[in-house]
Amino acid sequence: MLPSIANLSLAIGLVVSGALLSNWSSITPGVGDLLLNAVQSEDYPLIQGIFLCITLAVLAANLLADLVYLWLDPRTRTEVAP
C-alpha cells in the first residue's frame, strides 16, 4: 500500500497533464483550452498564471499525499526520505 501512495504522489503531475490533453482532444472546455488559446494568442501573463495555478494545485496534492504517507507509516516520521 505504501509504494502505491508514493507512486500516487508522483502520478498526480502526470494525471494533470493527461487531463489537459483530454481537454484539447475533446470538446470539453477547461484549463487546457484556456492554456492553448493563451499560447496561440501569446498572452504571456495568462500562460504564467495558469501554470502557477496548476503547479500550486499539483504541489498541494503532493503535500497531501506526503502527509497521508506519514500518517500511514510511522517509520518515515524521523528519517530523511530517499
Partner 1 sequence: MKSLRLPRSPKVVLGLVILGFFVLLMIFGPYLAPYSPDNTSFAPLLTPSAHHWFGTTSLGQDIFSQTLVGARATMVVALVAGVVATMLSIIVGVSAGYIGGYADDGPFVDVHVFLALPGLPLLIVIDSYLPVNSRSNSLIIGFVIALTGWAWGARYCGRRRCRCATETFVESSRIIGEKRLSDHCSPRSRPSPAILASSFLFTILYSIGAYVTLAYIGLTSTSVWNWGTMLFWAQANNAPLSGEWYWFVPPGILHCVGPAPAWLF
| Residues at the interface with partner 1 (CB under 8 A) | 9-10, 12-14, 16-17, 20-21, 24-25, 35-36, 39-40, 42, 44, 47-48, 50-51, 54-55, 58-59, 62, 80, 82
Min dist CB 74 to partner 1, Å, is: 18
Give the nearer residue to partner 1 in terms of CB position, either 10 or 67. Answer: 10
Which residues, other chains included, contact 44 with Cβ-Cβ below 8 Å and sequence gap of 6+? Answer: none
**Rounded-to-integer distance, Cα 60 and Cα 62, Å:** 5
